[in-house]
Amino acid sequence: DAWSQVGQPERAHALLNEMLEQYERTRNEQLKPNVITYSTVIHAYAVSKLPDKAVKAQALFRDMMARKIKTNTITTNALLNACATSEPSKEVFQMLKGVYQAIVRANQADHFTFGTVLKACTNFFPNGDGSFATQVFEEACRRGQVSAGVVHQLRHAVPSDVYFDLVGDLSETGGEVPDEWRRNVREFRRRKRFRAPN
């Protein structure tokens, strides 16, 4: 986790490879990489500035699948984030779209999923082509996964007129997302990191 926190995904990836080699050699279960290990390295790529981070994150994701390591929403959302924050390209957008559709089909999309895909729409369609973003937002509404973060990302992903057509005037509700839209949102608060006393 330390290498992922300081933006050195290659070092985190090298450590993962070392764990895999050690596990293969010794069959020591304590050395066997798991969903947390892989998710951490995928996240490290997602927050890095590497130009090929989406491709590397997807390769790790595929390796997980080949090793029959069960993924979770943290893993898939990290992969989506690697795509969302990459340099726009047709290949990366198709990758993002494929991962997103698979998550939705598996009924594993949460509000982070929808917010991340909307963030990608802002990155990939800076001129405001809101058609895909509109579909994503409408799916989030159907699933009750519209958090304040999803609305914020939508605001940047679509032209103003489309935004107001979709959400109306939220000032009438004090800025609150309608209950029906957020009925399944589970907010997670980050744990405060322990700090040693001075």
CA 137, 141, 58, 16 torsion-angle sign: positive
Beta strands (DSSP E) in the chain are none
Q: What is the mean pLDDT of residues 143-162?
A: 93
Q: What is the mean pLDDT of residues 69-95?
A: 94
DSSP secondary structure, 115-147, as one string: HHHHHHHHHH-TT---HHHHHHHHHHHHTT---
Residue 198: pLDDT above 50? no
Least confident of 11-15, 41-45, 107-111: 11-15
Structure tokens at 93: 């957008």
Q: Are 142 and 166 in contact (CB under 8 A)?
A: no
Q: Given this model, what pLDDT does residue 171 score?
A: 57
Q: Given this model, what pLDDT does residue 187 score?
A: 72
Q: What is the mean pLDDT of the chain?
A: 88
Q: What is the mean pLDDT of residues 112-138?
A: 91
Q: Given this model, what pLDDT does residue 130 score?
A: 79
Write the Ramachandran bin of 175: left for phi over 0, alpha for psi from -120 to 50, otherwise beta.
left
Q: Given this model, what pLDDT does residue 4 score?
A: 47
Amino acid at 47: V
pLDDT tens for 71-81 read: 999 999 999 99
> Residue 195's pLDDT band (boundaries 50, 70, 90)?
very low
Q: Which residues of 116-141 are buried (b: 16+ CB within 10 A; e: fewer)?
A: bbbbbbbbbbeebebebbbebbebbb
Amino acid at 104: V
